[in-house]
Amino acid sequence: MSGAFAIQQGNCSSFKFQVPHSCKIDPVIVDLMPDALPQNRSDGCCHGGILAAYAVHPSMSNTSFEVTVGNLEQNSTVYKPLNLILTAPGPGYTCGPVMDMNPTVSSVIGGRREEQVFRTWKSTCTYSSYLANKTPVCCVSLSSFYNPKVTSCPSCSCGCKVADQLPTSCIRDGSIPSNLPDDDIVQCTDHMCPLRIHWHIENNYMNHWRVKLTVSNYNYGKNYSDWNVLVQHPGFGQPATAYSFNSTMLPSIGVPEEVAIFWGKPFYNTELLQADKDQLGSVTTEILLQKDSKAFTLSNGWAFPRTIYFNGENCQMPLPDTFPMLPNVSPAFHCQFILHLIAVYLTYRIFVGF
């Protein structure tokens, strides 16, 4: 085997010479780390089990390994793999049946010759955050310049302190022990999430509007390297500029709103640090979005995201009826407007002298 390794060799006592890498009929195969030795590598291998989003790092979005199967006893009937399970880097993937495909063809001798493999199979694995985690790992809070109300993450978004009787389920701010346990420990909050994403509407200009996107890490023992945030929002149908994150728009398939993905800049904020006793770990950027004069409106929560994902995990959103809405016109507003007109009128009389 090259480009990966089986974590168990199994019983290979029947082999006197050329002992196989693994003799198990159901091996668990793990990707090699990037610093693997040249003799153990294969083309496109060795990412440490981490696949990046194609929009972020195309060259890091796929991996492969090679395995030679022997001891077939002259049996030319090569059976396809059974019970394929993908865990990268944890549960959550469901793989479909292994299907026969046209044999893979590769070019050699500088592209002047084609070589065809004997058999090719394909299985499609689909990820579900609901299968990967019993509770969400992130939540979303909202605020705006036109409303003093801050919509916090929904209570118990990622579990509740009352339901979890473990004394180390969370740590109160400022009471961090010297020896943290190995498990993920978060700061005690109403939402109990390791991660919170905050969307704040800062300004409304004539042709643009500005928002601030902040990702906060409440986990005291875990960094998030090469993170990414995916936002589904109708405003991304127009050009947008992120100042402190890299970003790109993704094609929308089957959803009415456009989708943008954000990730850190190298040597600046690609790592979201863990919280400490003084402050949370956080990364933030301002985003300038161009207005669509036919569709733009701040009313009815239009300016807030529909869905947000962190590293592919669906974040718990507040209910739409809790969004910070535009203030309604009230009698108090009318009184303020009338007083303003009176003040302007008196100022005008004083200025003209009558």
Non-local (6+) Cβ contacts of 188 within 8 A are 161, 170, 171, 172, 173
pLDDT, mean of each 10-residue run, the chain (354 residues): 94 89 92 92 87 86 87 73 82 89 91 91 88 85 93 89 55 66 76 94 92 93 90 89 93 73 93 84 94 81 90 91 77 43 46 47
Q: Is the peptide bond before 194 cis (omega within 30 degrees of 0)?
A: no
Q: Are 229 and 308 in contact (CB under 8 A)?
A: yes
Of 280, 175, 268, 178, nearest in space to 227 by CA? 268
What was the pLDDT predicted at 60? 85
Alpha-carbon torsion (320, 322, 326, 332), positive or negative? positive
Amino acid present at 301:
G
Instruction: Give the 3-state secondary structure of residue 321.
Output: helix
Non-local (6+) Cβ contacts of 26 within 8 A are 83
| Token digits of residue 49 | 């089990």
Length of the chain: 354
Q: Where are the beta strands (DSSP E) in 84-144?
A: 93-95, 99-101, 105-108, 113-116, 120-122, 125-127, 138-144
CA distances, 124 to each of 10, 11, 25, 69 (Å): 28, 31, 22, 23
Q: Determine how many CB atoms are found less than 10 A away from the CB of residue 232.
A: 18
Q: What is the CB-side half-sphere exposure of residue 255 using CA atoms within 13 A?
A: 16
| Token digits of residue 98 | 């292994």
What was the pLDDT predicted at 329? 46
| Token digits of residue 294 | 């036919």
